[in-house]
């Protein structure tokens, strides 16, 4: 899928739409999800134009990939999520119900998040 430069996260990166920023560095921006699904629900996005995890890891530089993953960990530490735990999740494509076509990792925390997605067939 080609990158859509008008997706909502691209607009946030350009400063055209506000966000509640949690962290920013040269490779990544983290902000609170507008419709949180846990007491803490933060999105971490790379600054480059990548659609999904597979696109990001195919086209981004080693520095971008390392910087992005370091940002995910930094956010978890800075928000105090490590002691009780947190979940990271990235949706890609139709079956995963990806809504915004700019690669992002969700960080969920702040309650018992339950197990993963349940057994096949449920
Ligand atoms: P996904 O289904 O993985 O693509 O998730 C997209 C996420 O982006 C959802 O959890 C939305 O609530 C969130 N979202 C959409 N628009 C905004 C926005 N303007 N600011 C913050 N989060 C947003």
The residue ranges of every structural domain in the chain are 8-109
- Which pLDDT score is estimated for 1? 80
Atom of ligand 1 nearest to the CA of 32: 21
Q: Tell me, what DSSP letter sits at residue 28?
A: E
**Is residue 104 among the annotated active site residues?**
yes
Q: Is 33 in the pocket of ligand 1 (CB under 6 A)?
A: yes
Q: Is residue 122 predicted with pLDDT exceeding 70?
A: no
State the DSSP string of 56-87: HHHHS-HHHHHHHHHHHHHHHHHTT-TTT-EE
- Report the pLDDT averaged over residues 96-106: 98
pTM: 0.97
For ligand 1, whether the C-beta of 35 sits within 6 Å is yes
Q: For the segment 57-68, what is each residue's pLDDT rounded down to a tens digit? A: 999 999 999 999
Mean pLDDT, the chain, rounded, equals 97
Average pLDDT over residues 18-29: 98
Instruction: Classify domain 8-109 at the CATH superfamily level.
Output: HIT-like (3.30.428.10)
Q: What percent of the chain has pLDDT over 90?
A: 93
Tally of CB atoms within 10 A around 57: 13
């Amino acid at each position: 899928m080609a990158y859509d430069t008008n997706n909502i996260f691209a607009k946030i990166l350009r400063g055209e739409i506000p966000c509640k920023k949690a962290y920013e560095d040269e490779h990544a921006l983290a902000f609170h999800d507008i419709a949180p699904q846990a007491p803490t629900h933060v999105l971490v996005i790379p600054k480059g134009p990548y659609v999904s995890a597979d696109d990001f890891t195919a086209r981004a530089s080693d520095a971008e990939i390392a910087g992005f993953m370091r940002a995910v960990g930094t956010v978890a530490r800075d928000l105090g999520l490590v002691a009780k735990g947190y979940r990271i999740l990235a949706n890609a494509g139709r079956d995963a119900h990806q809504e915004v076509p700019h690669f992002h990792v969700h960080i969920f925390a702040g309650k018992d998040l339950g197990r993963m997605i349940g057994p096949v067939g449920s």
